[in-house]
Structure 1
Amino acid sequence: MENLAERPNGQLGPKYGVDAPGFVASLGAAGAAAAVAAARWRGARRGRTGLALAGAALLGQTGIYLHTTLRGKLNAWERELDGAGLRGDEQLLDLGCGRGAVLITAAKRLPTGRAVGVDLWVGKDQSGNRPGTTLANARAAGVADRVAVHTADITELPFPDASFDVVTSALVIHNIPVPALRHRALDEAVRVLRPGGQLLIADFWPMAADYARHLGRGTLHPLGPGYWYGGPWLAVRMLRMVKK
């Protein structure tokens, strides 16, 4: 989990930014605008009430979204990785690692293993999304010795077959606009897994269901309100699969 307390060496703990910052900024701005319009409304009471309710709903969704992106997703991944039965010496790959929230949470559980992250570092997907930021977060968390990052497309991973014991991904694959390429990313994830390795993919519930259908195996479970991006219509599910 993110630790914002000052470390003994004077460096602050990791800061993971905000997912899709443009979207949540627009959501919050729309809510604030509706609330202001309601306060200034001079027409029928019904119109004022409608604007006030719309503003409250949008601001409420913004609050839920921010809780998820700043804390809820971290709590969920803590639970999922604790339940993965890791020995601590695994080689783990995180697809679309961003600023390292999942990557570093995993690395803390791999004292003799290694956590590798790949990303294309797109700023619209996460604020301040740069490899240097991810490595700085790893240093702040005390796991820099077991973390590496690469610039790579998850539909064409630059790793040999059966390279990793665990592959993780959080809210990444749905960003690929073409279904066939989303499925290729899944196939690549399975390709680099060793037999008996675990695949853990968190994504919006319709996407997660599609991934399970494509793979033809694995289990799905909801991650709860703490992983809602504004409401249950953008709830996240976890796909867990073990490679045969």
Structure 2
Amino acid sequence: MNVIHRRICRSDDWSARMHGSVLPWATNDVDLGGDVLEIGPGYGVTTRWLAPRSGSLTAVEVDGTMAADLAREFSDVDVRHGDGARLPFADGSFDAVVCFTMLHHVPTPALQDKLFAEAARVLRPGGTFAGIDSLVTLRFRIIHIGDTMTGVDPGGLPERLRTAGLDAPDTEVGQRSFRFRADRG
């Protein structure tokens, strides 16, 4: 992430927005009471909100330094250094898998699709994959100059989630972001 992006993601304003409106919207009607996997927690703003709301929380972060920092901060969260496109868990390990504002950091649509397939694989039958990502705007592009940024089309996402093995995919577009959810049958 570039300097501007890092500053935003670590800010109190970002945390307040995520905790106050974005995460409640993204997880509306998602049962977080069981075993939950968070893919791509980054600096931990979303983990901080999820931890007290989850029965048991595991987080997988691709950046080794961030994973180590998260492990130190969250003693009650099982933090793993790993890749969301190659999850180190057995089939059917989680009741819910979530990811928040990180899909656009996955370098290619093909790797995003692998992440979706991995989320489906590690979900238990009846489990839910849910999350949010940002809509691509001029401001969003500017914030990501020099960063990996592979936008996700919310209109095409349901078919991609179906192809990954998930059922009843749905997206809802908000002001700056969109939420999605799908179930494992």
> Which whole-Å CA distance do the structure 2 matches of 1:160 and 1:71 have between them?
35
Q: Report the equivalent of 1:190.
A: 120
How far is the alpha carbon of 1:79 from its aligned partner? 4.3
Structure 1 or 2: more strand by fraction? 2
Distance 1:154 1:93, change over 3 A: same
Q: Report the equivalent of 2:173.
A: 222
How far is the alpha carbon of 1:114 from its aligned partner? 1.2
Partner of 1:207: helix, strand, or coil?
coil
- Structure 2: which 5+ runs fail to align? 136-150, 163-167
> Which whole-Å CA distance do the structure 2 matches of 1:220 and 1:188 have between them?
19
- Structure 1: which 5+ runs fail to align? 1-19, 27-61, 123-128, 139-143, 225-234
Q: Report the equivalent of 1:29.
A: none
Aligned mate of 2:71, from 128, 135, 138: 135
State whether residues 127 and 183 of structure 2, in contact with CA within 8 Å, keep that contact through their aligned partners in structure 1: yes
> Which whole-Å CA distance do the structure 2 matches of 1:208 and 1:107 have between them?
29
> Which whole-Å CA distance do the structure 2 matches of 1:190 and 1:208 have between them?
19
Q: Report the equivalent of 1:51.
A: none
Would you say 1:242 and 2:178 are equivalent positions? no
Would you say 1:78 and 2:24 are equivalent positions? yes
State whether residues 78 and 105 of structure 1, in contact with CA within 8 Å, keep that contact through their aligned partners in structure 2: no
Q: Report the equivalent of 1:10.
A: none
Would you say 1:121 and 2:66 are equivalent positions? no
Would you say 1:172 and 2:102 are equivalent positions? yes
State whether residues 155 and 185 of structure 1, in contact with CA within 8 Å, keep that contact through their aligned partners in structure 2: yes
One-letter identity of the residue aligned with 2:47: L
Question: For each residue in 1:24-71, what CA deviation from the matched residue of structure 2 results, as whole angstroms up to 9, or x when unmatched?
Answer: 489xxxxxxxxxxxxxxxxxxxxxxxxxxxxxxxxxxx8xxx676332
Runs of 4+ in 1 over 6 A off after TM superposition: none
Question: For each residue in 1:134-182, what CA deviation from the matched residue of structure 2 results, as whole angstroms up to 9, or x when unmatched?
Answer: 13432xxxxx33x111111111111111110010001222222222111
One-letter identity of the residue aligned with 1:69: W
Aligned-pair identity in percent equals 24
How far is the alpha carbon of 1:239 from its aligned partner? 0.4
> Which whole-Å CA distance do the structure 2 matches of 1:167 and 1:208 have between them?
20
Q: Using structure 1 for the length normalisation, give the TM-score.
A: 0.58
One-letter identity of the residue aligned with 2:71: L
Partner of 2:152: helix, strand, or coil?
helix
Q: Report the equivalent of 1:201.
A: 131
Q: Which has the larger radius of gyration?
A: 1
Partner of 1:99: helix, strand, or coil?
coil
Partner of 2:125: helix, strand, or coil?
strand
Partner of 1:130: helix, strand, or coil?
helix
State whether residues 91 and 123 of structure 2, in contact with CA within 8 Å, keep that contact through their aligned partners in structure 1: yes
Partner of 1:108: helix, strand, or coil?
helix
Distance 1:24 1:115, change over 3 A: closer
> Which whole-Å CA distance do the structure 2 matches of 1:180 and 1:132 have between them?
27
Q: Using structure 2 for the length normalisation, give the TM-score.
A: 0.74
> Which whole-Å CA distance do the structure 1 matches of 2:82 and 2:178 have between them?
25
Q: Report the equivalent of 2:36.
A: 92
